[in-house]
Amino acid sequence: MHRTSSDEVMKYLSHNILYLRKRHHITKKEMAKILGIGIKTLNKMEQGVLPARLSVEVLFRIKERFGVSLICQVSEKLADTTV
């Protein structure tokens, strides 16, 4: 069983947040509101920088709004065929 490193987790999460935002034609302001974070935090996350304090609530909000499981959010890159 492959174990995902924290660097890989952030790489997948940042890719997937950006992918979902663009796929659903959502502005950064709207996405930040959906995730319950500030725009600066969203910018950092989309650039692959994990905020010092990131609530797991962000992952649950992605699941609720976009229907993406928590495991998929952090372990694979989403594509048009997965969403």
3-state secondary structure the chain: CCCCCHHHHHHHHHHHHHHHHHHCCCCHHHHHHHHCCCHHHHHHHHCCCCCCCCCCHHHHHHHHHHCCCHHHHHHCCCCCCCC
- Domains of the chain are 6-74 (1.10.260)
Task: State the pLDDT at residue 17.
Answer: 96
Task: State the pLDDT at residue 53.
Answer: 81
Task: State the pLDDT at residue 6.
Answer: 80
Q: How far apart are CA 8 and CA 6, in angstroms?
A: 5
In this predicted structure, the answer to whether residue 31 has a pLDDT above a threshold of 70 is yes
Name the pTM for this structure.
0.86
Q: How far apart are CA 5 and CA 31, in angstroms?
A: 26
Sorting pLDDT into bands at 50, 70 and 90, what band is 8? confident
In this predicted structure, the answer to whether residue 55 has a pLDDT above a threshold of 90 is no
